[in-house]
Amino acid sequence: MLRKIVTGAAVAAIVMGAAAHAETLAIVNAHILTAEPVGEVENGTIVVKDGVISAAGQGVAVPSGARVVDAKGQIVTAGLVAVNTGLGLTEVSSVSGTRDDRQHSEGISAAFDVQYGLNPNTTLIPVARLGGVTSAIVVPQYDDTDKARQLPFAGQAAAISLKYGGRLLLKPKIGLVLEFGEDGASRAGGSRAAEFIQLRALFDDARYYTSHKAAYERGEGRNLGLSRLDLEALAPVLDGSMPLIVIAHRASDISEVLRLGRDSGLKLILSGAEEAWMVASEIAAAKVPVLLNPTDNIPSSFDMLGATLLNAKRLSDAGVEIAIEGNDTGPRVRDLRYNAGVAVSRGLPYAKGVEAITLAPARIFGLDKQVGSIAPGKRGDIVVWTGDPLEPLSVATQVFVEGAEQPLTSRAEELRDRYLAPAR
């Protein structure tokens, strides 16, 4: 148990003990709760060798010399995969100097790449890890301090691992972020229609650039609406190798985005999508996944008049793959499991609720061969819980990333314990 403060030599010992994935780990008497092929196993064993799961399920033998962790019948899941986060990019939301998740350079839009601003020493990563989060999708945000700006794209997202002392970056360039709706329209002259027209024109420019690079370098050809860096960044989006993560809320906007995706051959991921349930059949037919917060049921704008707690259930029932997010991009990232619990309480099948915070986000972003479930060949990202992980009173007692046990402490807890101590 690592609920107490882990400082100095203790943390170093944890990290050194797991160096080079030398330790073989066996978690026994585990109530395994994960997706198929292992599925739910009431009394199983998980073996991790060199940071990778080698076996999981019933009747699994414990290798000689392995470190044995007795789960004592507690629920054990794969590490949670958080979407729509700013982990590693933000510290204090109200202090602009601590935010590397946004920018306002006129020459950089689609080319903005968050992988270069990641900070492994942020105080927010340990907070997320306390909630069982072991990997996350880090997305750029728009800087709207100056509404006169007209940068269409927020930039490129990345996947990170929350392993203590390890390299954050898990996979770069996993999606390009674009916003529609009221805020998106404000960057394109104030109209949704203008934004869709502008976007189609920019896509045409990017295709023209790709097929006329030599002429462009000579200063020949037509004028293009984006910088060279942005035009190059759009190439993988237009050939379908990088998904376009589209923030859209209103049902009509979602339908128009799906039409744009069909016309342009785009691989889409919807984000926000509070009214997605109203066009669930269209989304399912297009095989487009959705990132959402199932607790969004009170409209904060006219874009969200149809927001409902039943959004997650209705989308899932229609065959749409969903991933559930936390309640902000920083300190409340770990709320994703509470939100999954809310969705389950409103009819989402329990197994889908767990999948929406583990395997589904991994699958959506092409990480499912590495993380998202307990299965042979995947990273040893594993969490032991005191109870149902979707219940707020349950806590993570042990968190492993690549088979290495992680310190379960944070600056917030250290400060709490310091000031709870009796004055001397």
Helix (H, G, I), strand (E, B) or coil at 177: strand
The CATH number that applies at residue 409 is 2.30.40.10
Q: Which residue bears the tokens 């044995």?
A: 68
d(CA 275, CA 253) in angstroms, rounded, equals 10
Section 288-297 average pLDDT: 97
Packing angle, helices 192-211 and 251-264, rounded to 10: 20
Between the CA of residue 78 and those of 3, 182, 316, 381, what are the distances in Å?
Answer: 20, 37, 21, 6
Section 92-118 average pLDDT: 90
pLDDT at 187 over 90: no
Pairing label, strands 75-78, 382-385: antiparallel
Same domain, 107 and 253: yes
Bridge partners for 49 per DSSP: 52
Section 225-231 average pLDDT: 93
DSSP class of residue 133 equals E
Same domain, 176 and 263: yes
Q: Which residue bears the tokens 């669930």?
A: 280
The dihedral sign for the CA sequence 273, 277, 282, 286: positive
Kind and range of the H or E element at 109?
Answer: none
- pLDDT interval class at 57 (50, 70, 90): very high
Q: Which amino acid is at 250?
A: R
The CATH number that applies at residue 175 is 3.20.20.140
Model confidence, pTM = 0.92
Last residue of a domain, one of 353, 370, 387: 370
For the chain, the maximum distance between any two Cα atoms, rounded to a whole number of angstroms, is 76
d(CA 4, CA 129) in angstroms, rounded, equals 15
- pLDDT interval class at 423 (50, 70, 90): low
Average per-residue pLDDT in the chain? Answer: 92
Helix (H, G, I), strand (E, B) or coil at 368: coil
Residue among 323, 333, 411, 398 at smallest CA distance from 366: 323
Predicted pLDDT at 146:
62
Same domain, 226 and 186: yes
pLDDT at 18 over 70: no
Same domain, 124 and 58: no
Q: Which residues touch 272 (CB under 8 Å, ≥6 apart)? A: 181, 247, 248, 249, 291, 292
Same domain, 236 and 217: yes
Same domain, 88 and 143: yes
pLDDT at 363 over 60: yes
Same domain, 212 and 169: yes
Q: Which domain holds residue 120?
A: 80-370
Question: Are 85 and 79 in contact, with CB atoms under 8 Å apart?
Answer: no
Same domain, 109 and 243: yes
pLDDT at 325 over 70: yes
d(CA 359, CA 323) in angstroms, rounded, equals 9
pLDDT at 144 over 90: no
Predicted pLDDT at 171:
97
Q: Which two tokens stand for residue 182?
A: 């009221």
pLDDT tens-place string over residues 234-281: 999 999 999 999 999 999 999 999 999 999 999 999 999 999 999 999
- Structural domains of the chain, count: 2
pLDDT tens-place string over residues 377-419: 999 999 999 999 999 999 999 999 999 999 999 988 888 888 8
Same domain, 56 and 170: no
The CB density around residue 256, as the number of other CB atoms within 10 Å, is 17
Q: Which two tokens stand for residue 393?
A: 């009173």
d(CA 207, CA 214) in angstroms, rounded, equals 14
Same domain, 260 and 304: yes
Question: Are 30 and 43 in contact, with CB atoms under 8 Å apart?
Answer: yes
E strand segments, 334-403: 382-385, 396-401
Same domain, 65 and 100: no
Same domain, 51 and 98: no
Residue among 19, 164, 1, 146 at smallest CA distance from 74: 1
Task: Supply φ then ψ for residue 316, to 5 degrees.
Answer: -60, -45
- pLDDT interval class at 22 (50, 70, 90): low
Between the CA of residue 342 and those of 294, 295, 336, what are the distances in Å?
Answer: 7, 7, 10
